[in-house]
Every structure is written in structure tokens, then in C-alpha cells.
Structure 1
Amino acid sequence: MVRVLLALDDDVPQSHAQTNAIEAMVEGASDAEVYILHVFVDNPEGASVQQVEAVREASDRLESAGVGVELLEASGSPSDEILQHADELDVDQICVGGRKRSPAGKALFGSVTQDVILGTHRPVLVCGSSDE
């Protein structure tokens, strides 16, 4: 069984790229489980993970592809929550989004992505936006 933590923010094109990568990765797997995590940094209205369009679309696509999906939500530091959930769930891989950067900025990942890569021993898949 392949177990993946798919960390999504609310960027829909970014979630499409990440979902495409997950679908390709689990295509040959006999059994796959994807945990979709959305971390609320500021949530004064008390929204739930089901209300995040990027999460809904990713979940629908993966379930249609026969992948088991579990939705998770957290509040706080995105990188800390991603790393904590990856450890608690003992996933095989973490999938995070990358951002388009200038040539000079490509030398560094975004802070969340960089913190996740440096903070785990697990493989981390970084996906660029599907608009790139």
C-alpha cells in the first residue's frame, strides 16, 4: 500500500498539479491511501476543510481514480503541521506545492516547502503549478 500526505493550500491550479502527480504515482499501485491536509493559518470564520475548493476538487478526482482519501485539517504553522501529520500517519511520501520563482529565487524553495524538505527523512514531492 502507498500512503501519501497531500498538503494543499487554497490555490486551485496548484492543487491540480499536485493531484496530477499523485494520480500518476499511484496509477500502478494495487492499493493507495491519500491523506489530504489543509492547514488554516488564519480562520476567523471557522471554515472546515470541506469548504476549501482546492481540497474538494482534489478529493473528488482521487476518489474517482479509485484512491482512498481522508480529509484532514489543522491550524497553525503549515510546515510544523505537515511534518507532524506525516509522522503520526507514517506516510511513505509527502507532496507539497511549489511556487513560480524568478531565476534568482529558484535557488531557494518557499519557506514551507524548504522547512518540510529539511525537517523530514521521508521523500518529498514538490509540484509546480499546472499554469506553468
Structure 2
Amino acid sequence: MYHIVIGVDDDTEHALACVEEVVNLPGDPSEKEVTLVHSFTDNPSGASATQLHSVREASEYLEDNGIAYDVNESSGDPADVIVEFAEKEEADLIVTAGRKRSPAGKALFGSVTQSVILNSDRPVMVTGETKRS
């Protein structure tokens, strides 16, 4: 079984870009297991990660493509949460979404993505925009 950790923020397009790339990875869907990780930095309403539109859409996409998944929610710095969870679970791959940047900002991926890349000892895949129409 190939365990993949996907960092999911509140952006549905980013979440869908990540799960699309996971679905497109080589291998049978039954060989992949995904954990969608969302970290709340501010959650005054006490919402659950499964209530977020981005997490629901990513979950549905994985389910529609026959990939087993679960959802992990936490609080704190999202990059730290993703890296620590992936290490603890001995994940084979971390997937996170990149953001479009200005020409000056292209040297940086974004704070969460950059931190995950720099602080993880696991392979990290950075996705682009969703290919869905």
C-alpha cells in the first residue's frame, strides 16, 4: 500500500488539483491510501475538517476514483502539522498545491508549500492548477 498525505487548505481548486494528481499516479487505486490533512489556524466556530468544501470535494473525488482515504484535522502551523503527520505515519509521499506568484515571488512557492519542501525528509509533489473544466 502506498500512503499519500495531502495538505488541504480552504481552496477547493487546490484540493482538487492535488487529488487529481494522486489519481493519475501509476498503479491501481487499491494500491493507494490517502490522508487528507487540514490544520485549523483559527476555528472560532468549532468546524470539523469534513465540513469544509475543499475537504468534501477532495473526498468525493477520491471516492469516485476508488481510492481509500481518511481525514485528519489538527490545529497549528499547517506546514508543521503536515510534515509531522507524514513522518509519524511513515507516508510515502506528501502532496501540496502551489500558488501562482508574481514574477518577484516566483522564487518562493508560498509559505506552507515552501516549509513542507524544506522541512520534510519525504518526497513532496507540488501540483499546479486543476485540469477540470
Structure-2-length-normalised TM-score: 0.92
Alignment of 1:1-132 (within 5 A): 1-25=1-25, 27-28=27-28, 30-130=30-130
Q: Is the 8 A contact 2:29 2:66 kept in 1?
A: no
**C-alpha distance in 2, partners of 1:96/1:125?**
6
Cα distance in 2 for partners of 1:52, 1:31 equals 27
In the TM superposition, what whole-angstrom CA distance separates every residue of 1:65-103 from its partner, at most 9, and x where no partner exists?
Answer: 111101110101001101110011110000011110012
Q: In the TM superposition, what whole-angstrom CA distance separates every residue of 1:84-123 from its partner, at most 9, and x where no partner exists? A: 1001111000001111001221111111111110111111
Indicate if the aligned counterparts of 1:34 and 1:68 stay in contact, CA closer than 8 A: yes
Farther-moved stretch of structure 1 (26-35 vs 1-10): 26-35
Give the share of equivalent positions with the same residue, in percent. 45
Q: Secondary structure at the match of 1:95?
A: strand
Structure 1 distance, partners of 2:77, 2:121, is 19
What one-letter code is carried by the residue in structure 2 that aligns with 1:20? E
1:96 corresponds to which letter in structure 2?
T
Task: Classify 1:33/1:52 alpha carbon distance in 2 versus 1 (closer, same or farther; 3 Å).
Answer: same
TM-score normalised to structure 1 length:
0.93
Q: Is the 1:7–1:38 contact (alpha carbons within 8 Å) kept by the matching residues of 2?
A: yes
Separation of aligned partners in 1, 2:125 and 2:110: 14
Residue by residue over 1:17-61, the C-alpha shift from the partner in whole angstroms, topping out at 9 and shown as x without a partner, is 111111101554551100001111100000001101111111111
Inter-partner Cα distance in structure 2 for 1:70 and 1:58: 11
Which structure 2 residue ranges, 5 or more long, are not aligned? Answer: none
Equivalent pairs, count: 131
Tell me the C-alpha RMSD between the 2 structures.
1.4
Secondary structure in 2 aligned to 1:5?
strand
